[in-house]
Chains A and B, each alone.
Chain A
Amino acid sequence: MTDPREVRLEDLPGPKSREELEDMKAPYEEYCRKLFDVGNEYVKPAALDGIRWMSCTMYIFTPHSVSNLAELGAEVIKIEMPRMGDPMRHTSPFNECYYYPLHDTRPKTGTGIGVLNANVNEYYITMDYHREEAKEPFYRLVKMSDGLTECYRPGTFDRWKQSYRYLQEINPRFIYVWGGGFGYGPKAFGGSYDILGQSHAGLASITGFHEDFGGHPVKHTNWCIDWYSGTQITVAVLAALYWRRKTGLGTMIEFSQVQAATRCTGYAVPLYGRFGVVRQRWGNWDTQLCVHGIILCGKSDYPDEKNPQLRNEARYVMVSAFNDPDFKELCNIIKRPDLYEKYKTHKQRVEAEAQVEIYREIEKWAADKSRSEVVRILTDAGILAAPVKNDKEVYDSEHFRQRGSVRWLDDPMMGDVLCHSSFSCGLLSETPRRKFWDFRPVGADNIKVYHELLGYPMSTIKKWYEENLI
C-alpha cells in the first residue's frame, strides 16, 4: 500500500522529466516528427504480433484485407495454386512490366506489377486444396491459426469440407472471412471484380462528366473498390478479435465488395428514397460546394517534354473558394467582381447554371496561363489551389519523401522496388505499419511452412511437389 500522504511525482500534473518538458515545449510539427520517427519503424513493436492468418485469396480485394493485418504485424500464410499462383500475378499495364522469377519451372514468365502492394510481408505456399491429401495439412494450419480469408465462389470451400461449418468444430476461436461480390441471395454465384463493384453499385453512374457535357461514366483509375472494401473487412476482423478477447469465440464474416461501393455514395440513396431524385455525374465540379473544382489552364508546365503525360496533361488545377470571402477574392483575381455581386450567397453559386458560368469564367482567365502560374497567383492571394499531380510529381514530392509514404525498398527477392503503400496508410507512434517485402515466388515458403511448422518430412514434401499437390 502506498502512503496516501506521500506525494508522488507521477501523480503531479505537468511534465515528469527534462525530455518530457522539451516535448511539451517543442513546436507542434517538430513534436510530430519526433514522435512518428519516420524511417525507424522496424525497431518499434507491431500491434498484431502473434496473430497468424491464412490467406486463401486472389486478386486484390481479399488479399488487401489480409495485407492490412500483415502490415500491422500478423504472420500471414498465403496459399496459391501450384505452379500458377494468384491470377493477379499475370496482370501488368499494357503487358509491359514484370519481375522475375514467378517459379523455377517457368523461367520466362514473370509476376506482373498488378500484384504489387496486395500481399505484403506474407509467406507463400502452394496447395491444391480440393485433393483429399491436402485436407490434413490444411486442417493442421487451421488448428494453429487465428483465422482465414477466402474468396472462392460460395459453396466451393464447403464442398471441399473447409468452410466455416467444418472449421468451427476444429477451432472454435477461428475467425472465418468470405469476401466476394454478392454473398447469399439470388446472385450468390455471380463472380465479381472491382470494376463490377464500381459499375453495379451506382458509383460509376455518379463519376465522370454528364452526357450533356459529352461524357461517359468513368472508371476510377485504380481497383479502388477492391482495396477500399478489403480495408473494411480488416475493420470487421479487428472488431471480431476484440470480441474474441472477451468470449473466446470466433465468427464468420461474409463481406460483399459491391455493397461497399454503394456505401460511399453519400446522399445518393436517401435522396432517391425520399424524393425519387437520381443522383447524376457532375464531372470535375462538386454538387454541394462551389467554387470547389478542377479547371483547365491554357499552358502546360512542361511544354517541351517528350512524354505526352508531361507535355499535354500538366494543365489542371484544383481550385477551392466556396466561402464568401474566398469567392469574393477569387472573383477579384480573375477580374470579374460582377460575378461575386451576382452570386453573393453560397446557395446561389452552387446552383447548376451558376457553376457552369463561374467555372467557365475561371477557365477563361486561366487560358493564357500555365498551371504553376495559376497555382502561384491564387496561393499568393491566400486562396486554396493545388496542381493535379502526376506520378512523376508524386515521386518527386519532398512532402511524401519526408513522411516516408514514398520510399525505396531493397526487396529480398526482386531488388530495388519503389514503395508507396503500407507506410502511407497511417503513422502510428507506438506500433507503426511496415513492409518487409512485397511478394515472393510461387511456393517460396513451402519448406518453411510444411516442414518447419507442420512437421512433414522432406521426402513427403518432395513427393507432394512431384504430384503437383503443392
Chain B
Amino acid sequence: MCDIIWCKKCNTVNYLDPYCFWNWEGKINCAECGEVYYIHMIQGHMYRGPEPRPGEKPDIMPLYADKPLEGYKNYLPGTEGRTRPYNCTPRHIYLGHADYRKFSIRNRPMRAWAPQPAAGGVAGAYGFYWDIKKLSPEVWEEYQEKIKKGEVRDW
C-alpha cells in the first residue's frame, strides 16, 4: 500500500493527497471505521506503515475516502469526524455539484438553473433578449416580490 490506505477492516480506500503527504510522518484514521494507522512517507513512498495503532489518537484525517466494492459509497471532504474539513472551499458549506440560482447576490434574476425552456430559433439562433416573463413567469413573479420587499439592490 502506498498513497492510499485500503483499510482491511472495512474495505474503505482512504486517499492520501500528494501535497499533504509527500513527506509526512504521523497517524491517520480510516474514514469509515476509525482505525488509526501510523505512516511515514518519504518522497511519496511509504517508508514505514501503514501500521495499525488501535486506541491511539490520529494526527490528521484523510481528505476523501470511498468504497469501490460497495457501490462507491463515499465520504466527502469535511465530513465531521471522518474527513478533513477543506478550508479551500469558497463557502463554509461544500457542494461539488451545480448550484442552481435564480437571483444574483443583489437579487436580480440570472439564468443559472436547469432545465431551461427551449427558446432558440432556427439552427439554435437566439436573439438579444431574455423574455423572462414568458419563459419563466414564476421567476418574474418572485422578482416582483423582491422588488416590493426592497430586497433588490444596486450592489
Contacts and interface: CB of A to CB of B under 8 A. Distances in A.
B97 A470 contact: no
Contacts of B85: 308
- Is the contact region of chain B dominated by helix, strand, or loop, or is it mixed? loop
A240 interface: no
A83 to B, nearest CB: 8
Contact of A416 (B19, B90, B96, B104): B104
Contacts of A109: 114
B96 A413 contact: no
B14 to A, nearest CB: 21
A445 B121 CA distance: 10
A448 B119 CA distance: 16
A269 B74 CA distance: 48
Contacts of B124: 103-105, 126, 441-444, 446, 465
Contacts of B91: 306-307
A150 B83 CA distance: 45
A108 B122 CA distance: 20
Nearest to B103: A416
Interface residues of A, number: 51
Interface in B56-92: 85, 87, 89-92
A412 B128 CA distance: 5
Interface stretch (A57-65, A92-100, A190-198): A92-100
Contacts of A312: 87
A311 to B, nearest CB: 9
A401 to B, nearest CB: 7
Interface string A86-120: 00000011111111110111011110000000000
Given A104-B118, A415-B108, 14 more contacts: A93-B90, A94-B94, A94-B96, A101-B116, A101-B118, A108-B114, A108-B115, A306-B92, A410-B108, A412-B130, A417-B104, A444-B125, A448-B125, A461-B122
Interface of B: 19, 85, 87, 89-92, 94-99, 103-104, 106, 108-130, 132, 154-155
22 contacts: A96-B97, A96-B98, A101-B119, A104-B119, A107-B114, A107-B115, A108-B114, A110-B98, A308-B92, A309-B90, A408-B106, A413-B111, A414-B110, A414-B112, A414-B130, A415-B132, A416-B103, A442-B124, A444-B126, A445-B126, A462-B123, A464-B123
